[in-house]
Chains A and B, each alone.
Chain A
Amino acid sequence: IAGITQAPTSQILAAGRRMTLRCTQDMRHNAMYWYRQDLGLGLRLIHYSNTAGTTGKGEVPDGYSVSRANTDDFPLTLASAVPSQTSVYFCASSEQGAEGANVLTFGAGSRLTVL
């Protein structure tokens, strides 16, 4: 089934630990995104990539890093997790980045709890 796969589905993590959330898409979309979703707030963009080999910072990039070595994969790394990074993380993709009506396809989400 075409779409986006995220892993892990959920994770409990001790503060200070390093964590990588994985995201893979099989739709050959150019653009990929990482969002966090917190209760009472809209989706907030962490990092994005308009095409393989390029990345950019979103609204809340501090404490997170990404890489885009190829079209399909877009991992998100928390170098040293803190409790404020407890959230649900969604990976998304779209056919094109930047301009245009970018309809996003989302992964199922990764629920991360930092203690």
Chain B
Amino acid sequence: GQNIDQPTEMTATEGAIVQINCTYQTSGFNGLFWYQQHAGEAPTFLSYNVLDGLEEKGRFSSFLSRSKGYSYLLLKELQMKDSASYLCAVTDSNYQLIWGAGTKLIIKP
């Protein structure tokens, strides 16, 4: 079956760096997405990786290794507003999106 694994919850300190991992087993691969979802709100798009390597966008970076079925989202200079759930999703060979259950990130002062 198809599966996306992410840690359920992580805690980090304001101003620090945190890495949220995502591993996947899917039938084919056509890209990996990261979305941010604040409590009670809709998911919003953060990043997209289709080739191996690091994509940097301000304080957020996303890394992909297709051979390892692995991605991570790196958040730098954490702010209280970064407290949210982070959803990893993979597009399979049929271009269907498979979603992880999300990682709840708690930022402490």
Contact = CB atoms under 8 A, between A and B. Distances in A.
Interface residues of B, number: 24
Binding site secondary structure of chain A: loop
Contacts of A42: 4, 87, 89, 98-102
A104 B99 contact: no
Nearest to B96: A45
Sorting the interface of chain A by its residue count into under 10, 10 to 19, 20 to 34 or 35 or more gives 10 to 19
A106 B102 contact: no
Contacts of B44: 106
Nearest to A90: B42
Contacts of A101: 31, 48, 50, 91
A1 interface: no
B95 A100 contact: yes
Interface of A: 40-45, 90, 98-109
